[in-house]
């Protein structure tokens, strides 16, 4: 059994507590898989705590979740990109990939939330 | 003689009824047992599915080892099962509310494929990659990726809220807890 627990709150004496907002859940998917159903439950839970949106530099922005994935080049691991979902902005799950120094983006899935707050992932290609 | 025969028949018939061992001890008189109909209003679980759930749970929560944190116990999880032919698929997901937590862990949970005779055919922990069986993974179908800019640099990931068209997300209608401007200069 394994799990990855992210703290819901940050205690930083340099900043007043009310000036800190929860913007993104960042974690790794070493195997390269997309945002999963447990990930969606986690971001929904965090949104219940902090609200799905916050004001950042005068703009309303969405809470979001990212899962980084890697690859091996000449025996050395490196970051290959990440999956990203910003639920208050869009129902799309994006895959960002770094290739030859360039960042590309594609939609790999859409997320539909039922009234009982259960997410359903609709892959756009195969199973993300 | 006839009465004695009937009594003997009653005794023999009673002996033929198998009782669960210890049934006399499991009798808390403060519990008023509801009717079968009342209990059957809940969701039924057939025996094969129950066994598949047990097999998956035994695998995911091994019985040996040190005492677990609340969030790592069976009671802090939800179990789902669906049968397709000779395979029963089981999903195990965290139920953080059981431990008084507001949100679940990332990469927690698992999916199992269990044969109807109780064997684990596949186990996929949350966060593990799918196996692309029989697929050519060198090419990806679906929409073509778009380069974010021409000079090879990056542009900020856009998380701003669109003006048009509400997105359905739990809690979005009331926009959650009002928050300060975390990015405002101080």
Residues of A in contact with B178 (CB under 8 A): 51
Q: What is the pLDDT of residue B100?
A: 94
Contact with chain B for residue A120, Cβ under 8 A: no
Q: What is the pLDDT of residue B175?
A: 45
* For residue A67, pLDDT beyond 80: yes
Q: Average pLDDT, whole number, for chain B?
A: 79
Which stretch of DSSP H or E encloses residue B58? helix B47-60
- The whole-angstrom distance between B132's CA and the closest CA on chain A is 9
* Residue B13 vs residues B6, B16, B17: alpha-carbon distances, Å: 10, 5, 7
Contact with chain A for residue B22, Cβ under 8 A: no
Cβ pair A87:B177 closer than 8 A: no
pTM of the model: 0.78
The percent of residues in chain B predicted with pLDDT above 70, rounded, is: 67
Q: Can you tell me which residue has the tokens 């101080």?
A: B186
Q: Which residues pair with A106 in a beta bridge?
A: A95
* Chain A residues 64-103 with a CB less than 8 Å from chain B: 64, 84, 86-91, 95-97, 101-103
- The whole-angstrom distance between A36's CA and the closest CA on chain B is 8
CB A83 within 8 A of CB A32: no
Residues of A in contact with B129 (CB under 8 A): 29, 31-33
Rounded to whole angstroms, the Cα distance separating A39 from A4 reads: 10
Domain extent listing, chain B: 47-125
Cβ neighbourhood burial of A51 (10 Å; 0-12, 13-18, 19+)? buried
Cβ pair A62:B147 closer than 8 A: no
Rounded to whole angstroms, the Cα distance separating B81 from B61 reads: 17
Select the residue of A19, A31, A47 nearest B171 (Cβ to Cβ).
A47
Residues of B in contact with A48 (CB under 8 A): 102-103, 170-171, 176
Q: What is the pLDDT of residue B50?
A: 98
Strands (E), chain A: 24-28, 53-56, 59-62, 64-73, 76-85, 92-99, 102-113, 119-123
* For residue B78, pLDDT beyond 70: yes
Higher pLDDT, B22 or B45: B45
* For residue A121, pLDDT beyond 90: yes
- The whole-angstrom distance between A120's CA and the closest CA on chain B is 12
* For residue A109, pLDDT beyond 80: yes
Contact with chain B for residue A10, Cβ under 8 A: no
Q: pLDDT (tens digit, 9 = 90+) per residue, A9-66?
A: 888 889 888 788 889 999 998 878 889 999 999 999 999 999 999 988 888 899 999 9
CB A46 within 8 A of CB B106: no
**CA-based radius of gyration for chain A:** 16
Domain extent listing, chain A: 22-123
**ipTM given for this complex:** 0.80
The percent of residues in chain B predicted with pLDDT above 90, rounded, is: 44
């Amino acid at each position: 059994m394994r799990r990855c627990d992210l703290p819901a709150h940050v205690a930083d004496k340099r900043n007043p507590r009310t000036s800190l907002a929860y913007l993104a859940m960042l974690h790794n998917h070493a195997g390269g898989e997309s945002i999963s159903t447990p990930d969606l439950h986690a971001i929904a839970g965090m949104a219940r705590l902090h609200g799905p949106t916050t004001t950042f530099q005068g703009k309303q922005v969405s809470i979001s979740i990212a899962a980084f994935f890697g690859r091996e080049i000449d025996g050395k691991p490196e970051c290959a990109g990440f999956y990203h979902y910003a639920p208050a902005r869009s129902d799309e799950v994006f895959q960002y990939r770094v290739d030859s120094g360039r960042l590309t983006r594609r939609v790999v899935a859409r997320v539909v939330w039922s009234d009982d707050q259960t997410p359903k992932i609709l892959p756009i290609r195969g199973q993300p | 003689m006839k009465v004695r025969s009937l009594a003997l028949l009653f005794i023999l018939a009673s002996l033929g009824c198998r009782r669960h061992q210890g049934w006399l001890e499991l009798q808390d008189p403060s519990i008023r047992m509801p009717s079968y109909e009342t209990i059957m209003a809940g969701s039924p679980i057939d025996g094969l599915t129950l066994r598949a759930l047990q097999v998956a749970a035994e695998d995911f929560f091994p019985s040996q080892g040190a005492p677990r944190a609340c969030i790592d116990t069976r009671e802090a999880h939800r179990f789902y099962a669906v049968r397709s032919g000779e395979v029963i698929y089981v999903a195990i997901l965290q139920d953080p509310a059981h431990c008084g937590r507001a949100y679940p862990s990332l990469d927690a949970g698992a999916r199992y494929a269990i044969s109807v005779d109780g064997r684990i055919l596949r186990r996929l922990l949350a966060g593990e990659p799918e196996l692309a069986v029989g697929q050519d993974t060198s090419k990806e179908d679906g929409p073509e990726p778009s380069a974010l800019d021409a000079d090879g640099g990056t542009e900020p990931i856009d998380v701003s809220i669109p003006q048009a068209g509400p997105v359905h997300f739990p809690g979005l209608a009331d926009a959650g807890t009002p928050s300060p401007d975390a990015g405002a200069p101080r």
